[in-house]
Amino acid sequence: MTENIKKVAVFTSGGDSPGMNAAIRSVVRTCAYKNIECVAIYRGYQGMIDGDFKQMNARSVNNIINKGGTILKSARCEEFRTEKGRKKAYDQLKKEGIDAFVVIGGNGSFAGAVKFNREYDFPVMGIPGTIDNDILGTSFTIGFDTAINTVVDVIDKIRDTASSHNRLFFVEVMGRDVGHIALNAGVGAGAEEILIPEQNLGLERLLDSLKRSKKSGKSSSIVIVAEGDKIGKNVFELKEYVEEHLPIYDVRVSVLGHMQRGGNPTCFDRVLASRMGVRAVEALIEGKSNYMVGIRDNKLVLTPIEEAIKAHTEIDMELLRVSDIMTT
C-alpha cells in the first residue's frame, strides 16, 4: 500500500460503449470510499491537454449507472499522439495535482496510456470499455453484452417482417476486425448464416446454405454480416450477388449502425463496470501501474496493458460450430 496516490483522474476515450457511466461512477465512489480525491477529465486525452477537469464526489455520479453513452464525453485526439501534446497533458495533470489516472476505453486509448506511462512514469490503469469485446486479458469488455442484446432485439423485429413475407435479410453489424458481436448475436437471434472477419466460408457455401434453408421450409432467412467480413462483399453487394445467383428470394438489407453503441446498459455490463472500477482504484492504491483490469472465470485479474493490446481476442471456434449446428 503506497501513500502516494491522493488524487486520481478518470476519463473515457475512443468510441463510447454502454456501461462507461457505471465504470465512471464506480471509480468516483471507490475514491470517495477510500478518502482519495477524484477528478473527472472531459473529452478524453483532448480534455487532458486542455485541462478540462472537474472535481467529483460520490453525489456527482448519482443516477448515471443506468444511462448509455458517457457523461464525460469522448473524443479521438490527434494532438496526444505527438510528444508535444503529451507534454501539455502531463503539465495539466501536475498542475492539478493528479497522481494517477484511470482510462476507460479500447485498444487505441490504452496505447496512448502506455506511451504516456513510459515517458513520464505516470501511474495509469485501464478499464476495457468497448462493444467489440476484442481485448486480450478479459473475457468481457464493458458494453459488449448490451450491444449483442441490442442487435438481437432488432433482429427479432426484422424476423417478424421477414417471416411475414418469406424474405431474406442481410443485416450488417459492427465489427471491422473481429466477429464477436456478429457471432454471439447471430447465434442468439437464430441467424441462418454469420459472416465474420476471421473466416471466409466462401460465396458458394452461402448460396448452398440459403438453398438448403429455403428447401427445409424455413419462412425467412437472416444473414448477419460483420462490417469487416472476410468474404469481401458488403451487405449491398451480397444482396446483388444473391439476387443474381439465387433468384428464389426477395432480398432486403439492413445496416444497424450506431444504435449498437447506445442504450441503457444491461445488468451484466453495470455489474462488470462496477467491479472493474473498484479494482482499478484499489490497484493504483496498491502501487500498481500500467495494468488493465479484466475478468476471467468470474474473477477480476490484472494484465499488463502492453499485453492487452498486442492482438485481438480470437473467435470462439466452439461457438462457430454451435452456430453451424443450430442452422440445421
Question: Could you say which residues in the range 28-57 bind a copy of itself, by CB under 8 A?
Answer: 29-30, 32-33
Which string of x and - marks every residue 215-234 that binds a copy of itself (by CB under 8 A)?
Answer: -xxxx---------------
Binding residue for a copy of itself (CB under 8 A) from 177, 211, 259, 307?
259
Cα(234)–Cα(172) distance, rounded to whole angstroms?
8
Binding residue for a copy of itself (CB under 8 A) from 80, 122, 169, 170?
169
156 binds a copy of itself (CB under 8 A): yes
252 binds a copy of itself (CB under 8 A): yes
Binding residue for a copy of itself (CB under 8 A) from 74, 92, 117, 303?
74
Binding residue for a copy of itself (CB under 8 A) from 119, 160, 237, 307?
160
Cα(328)–Cα(312) distance, rounded to whole angstroms?
30
Cα(293)–Cα(295) distance, rounded to whole angstroms?
7
Residue 28 annotated in ligand binding: yes
Question: Could you say which residues in the range 178-207 bind a copy of itself, by CB under 8 A?
Answer: 184-185, 187-190
Residue 81 annotated in ligand binding: no
26 binds a copy of itself (CB under 8 A): yes
Q: Find the shortest distance in angstroms from Cβ 85 to a copy of itself.
A: 19
Q: Find the shortest distance in angstroms from Cβ 181 to a copy of itself.
A: 10
The catalytic residue positions are 132
Residue type, 193: E
Cα(88)–Cα(49) distance, rounded to whole angstroms?
5
As given in the structure block, the three cell numbers for residue 185 are: 448475436
301 binds a copy of itself (CB under 8 A): no
| Annotated binding residues | 15, 25-29, 76-77, 106-109, 130-132, 159, 167, 174-176, 190-192, 218-220, 227, 252, 258-261
